[in-house]
Amino acid sequence: MESKSIAKNLVYQRKLKGYTQEELSERTQVTVRTIQRIEKGDVNPHLQTIKLLATALDLEVEDLLPLENPKEEEIQKKWLLLMHSTPFLGFIIPLANILIPLFLWIHKREDNSLYDIQGRIIINFQISMSLLYLLSFMALLTIEKWGFFLFIAVIPFSIIVMLGNIIKVVGTHTCFYPLAIPFLKSKRVLSLKIIGFLLVGFLMTSCTNKKNKEIERIDGSLIPKDSITDKIDQLVKDAKVQGMAITIFNNKQPVYKKIFGYKDFSKKLLLTDSTNIYGASLSKAVFSIIVMKLVEDKVIDLDMPLESYLPKKIYEYRPQTRWHDDYSDLKEDSLYHKITARMCLSHTSGFQNWRSQDLKLQAYGVPGDKYDYSGEGFVYLQVILEKITGKGLEQLAQEIIFEPLGMKNSAYEWKPRFEADFAQSYATNGYMFNKDTDNEPRSASTLETTFDDYVKFLTAVLNEEIIKENSYDEIFSPQLKILSLSQLIDDSNASKEDYKDVKLSYGLGWGYLETPHGIGFFKEGRGTGFHHYSILFPESGKGVLIMSNSENKGIIYKELLELTTSDKHMPWQWFKEIPYK
């Protein structure tokens, strides 16, 4: 029996070290024939031979000698089983998958080489899997689709390997843990790096778990994600909002995304992040980035009168569309020729918001003198750019914004593929509007997008992608102070007291807002039941996007902003939103 036990121990230890019989012979000067006979159990080797073999295998002599007590074999199996199974506690207690095996290894490693070797392998595997889990979580937040698959694969892989080794160690006293990085290499030295990793890992896990459950608002206060969801869910129900999507940004990344309600309320079809949503005036924010990219490329200058880029007067061109590039009304206008790109983007062009049969297009004031919200100003700039570049707005948007950012479901015109998944829109009384799919591309108003796509756009803006830093500085610089009591109605009698806490101006395509917690830049969008709002604080990397297919979203606008940004300093009055309470 003794020779058979030595034989089994020698075979196991030799293979564990990765030596062939010939390689072990070279390291010990014990002949290959002798090693073969020992491993077959044909001989009972001399103690000196055992010492030579143990030294070559970096073992103690007793590690090769048979157990004196037959019952110790059963005890050994139980300890190994305990070491391999306790990491499952890590699914309940953070880092228990490492700490408990580490404790067992320190306690038992001197008793038997099996405890030492397998203990180190278990600890190495659990540390490796913990690191992989953290990396997969980062991938989940940063890598679309594949990050999700990596994240959900780590835990099942770990469970399968751990269960397999429990079965294996009971039957053969051996184990196999793939992907285990050898952090622990010696049974006599506990690496200080491992202790450091455990402490840092524990702190990171604690902080990450806490941060993952809370949102930091612009005033620095923390609010649990669950409470945000519960509050919004109640607001949506109370105000009878058919559908709404919201995301909150921290550290220039979306950290909270939630969708409530329906794209088609009557059919109870759920709104999703890939559902087509009419963007309305969110179009202007996208267009501002397009314009600044063309400024960088020296296609246009912000302060050059736009008509100077054309070989003839704008009203002399034959219209190519049904109405928006028809500038025949300007033939008698003596002011429009002063309009620049900066004036168009800052709503100081002098044009009215939209022309009509009764209200012909014209400059109603000296361009550049005062703020007066104007979609016509944006369209005028669009038409000039189309004539300069020879490209339509849709082509420019795809080349500069949508394709680089992977906004595959966005366009300035209706696409047939949107028909498969689009949001209906609703009036305050629940009336469903007819979906308008007959718009020509217009920079101020015809954006078709999705919640997911527009989140990508705002993320790119926060991270200063597409255009250069100085171009963003230009966009987000106040052009003219706003004293009107509403976005669309100029009131020359407005008192500065109305804005003692909130200083409003307009940048290039975005509103400008000074608060005690930093400068914010906002853009809203409204049209035929769709009601959107976005605000970014680039310095702190925070922001909020709210998209809705219901006019009733306006009556909970104040509560939504106070919940997700701060209790004060959001200009809900300026948008003439009346809280439902």
pLDDT at 66: 60
For 336-372, the DSSP string reads GGG-BHHHHHTT-S-B-SS--SSS---B-S-TTSS--
pLDDT at 1: 41
pLDDT at 171: 77
Type and span of the H or E element at 255? strand 253-264
Angle between helix 96-108 and 113-142 (nearest 10): 160
pLDDT at 569: 63
Pairing relationship of beta strands 214-216 and 222-224 according to DSSP bridges: antiparallel
Long-range contacts of residues 362-368, Cβ cutoff 8 Å, at least 24 apart? 362/329, 362/330, 362/333, 362/335, 362/336, 363/333, 363/335, 363/336, 363/338, 363/339, 365/335, 366/335, 366/338, 367/335, 367/336, 367/338, 367/339, 367/340, 367/343, 368/338, 368/340, 368/343
pLDDT at 189: 45
Question: What is this structure's pTM?
Answer: 0.66
Instruction: Output the tens digit of pLDDT for each of the chain's 581 residues.
Output: 445 567 888 888 888 878 888 888 888 778 888 888 888 887 777 777 878 888 888 877 767 766 445 455 677 778 888 888 888 988 888 888 888 888 888 888 877 777 888 888 888 898 988 888 888 888 777 776 677 777 788 888 989 998 988 888 877 778 888 888 887 765 444 444 444 555 555 455 444 445 568 899 988 889 999 999 999 999 999 999 999 999 999 999 999 999 999 999 999 999 999 999 999 999 999 999 999 999 999 999 999 999 999 999 999 999 999 899 999 999 999 999 999 999 999 999 999 999 998 899 999 999 999 999 999 999 999 999 999 999 999 999 999 999 999 999 999 999 999 999 999 999 999 999 999 998 899 999 999 999 999 999 999 999 999 999 999 999 999 998 876 655 544 444 444 454 455 578 899 999 998 888 889 999 999 999 999 999 999 999 999 999 999 999 888 888 888 898 887 666 666 666 666 55
For 71-96, the DSSP string reads HHHHHHHHHHHHHHHGGGGGGTSTTH
Q: Is residue 526 within 8 Å of residue 427, measured between CB atoms?
A: no
How crowded is residue 349: how many other Cβ atoms within 10 Å of its Cβ? 29
Q: Is residue 233 within 8 Å of residue 260, measured between CB atoms?
A: yes
> Under 8 Å CB-to-CB from 397, ≥6 apart: which residues?
286, 287, 290, 410, 411, 412, 441
Q: Is residue 51 within 8 Å of residue 61, measured between CB atoms?
A: yes
For residue 503, what are the β-bridge partners? Answer: 514
Q: Is residue 445 within 8 Å of residue 283, measured between CB atoms?
A: yes
Q: Is residue 296 within 8 Å of residue 471, measured between CB atoms?
A: yes
Query: Which position has the token pair 């890939």?
Result: 274
pLDDT at 205: 47
**CA angle, 438 then 363 then 334, to 5°:** 125
Q: How far is Cα 299 from Cα 472, in angstroms, rounded to an integer?
A: 17
How crowded is residue 92: how many other Cβ atoms within 10 Å of its Cβ? 8
pLDDT at 23: 84
DSSP secondary structure code for residue 374 in this structure: -
Q: How far is Cα 254 from Cα 141, in angstroms, rounded to an integer?
A: 9
